[in-house]
Amino acid sequence: MTSTAFTTRVLDVTTGSTETVADLTRDCAAFLDEAAQGRDGLLNVFTPHATAGIAILETGAGSDHDLLAALHDLLPADDRWHHRHGSPGHGRDHVLPALVPPHATLPVLAGRLSLGTWQSICLVDTNVDNPHRQVRLTFLG
């Protein structure tokens, strides 16, 4: 759906067979170049998956790896989970969105993301059973 006030696009993201923090910041900025056309508004980033989330964090300096390590500590991939299909410990992946929500809404000023210096928009995916994800970007302005 496209109008002057509301534009949306779906990104197809391949996360592979390992736990991943995928930086989507460039994709979001490219979307806004087209959709926002210099306007102020909001960017909503949403992933329609029960085992993935959207996080705003620093990447490239180890924070992405630290996040995955922290999630491993909080949500170990063992047999404690009631949800038992898939890879061993897969039930933890279904708890992930309670800690890393499947959405984020960010301010857009003059058509650009209003992020802090070190902030990036990331898809967090600990589910090694599903290597293909979608992320919906929506600009409202």
Mean pLDDT by 10 residues, the chain (141 residues): 76 94 98 97 97 95 95 93 85 94 98 96 95 97 94
Task: Report pLDDT digits (tens) over 97-128.
Answer: 999 999 999 999 999 999 999 999 999 999 99
Spatial distance between the Cα atoms of 16 and 105, rounded to a whole number of angstroms:
26
CA separation for the pair 23, 124 (Å, rounded): 9
pLDDT of residue 88: 83
User: CATH code for 6-140?
Assistant: 2.60.120.460
Percent pLDDT > 70 in the chain is 97
pLDDT in tens, 88-99: 888 999 999 999
| Residue pair 108/141 in contact by the 8 Å Cβ criterion | yes
Helix, strand, coil content of the chain in percent (nearest 5): 25, 35, 40
The letter for the amino acid at 112 is R
CB 13 within 8 A of CB 86: no
Q: What is the pTM of this model?
A: 0.93
CA nearest 83: which of 74, 75, 93, 73?
93
pLDDT score recorded for residue 2: 45
- The residues, any chain, with a CB within 8 Å of residue 34's CB and separated by 6 or more, are 7
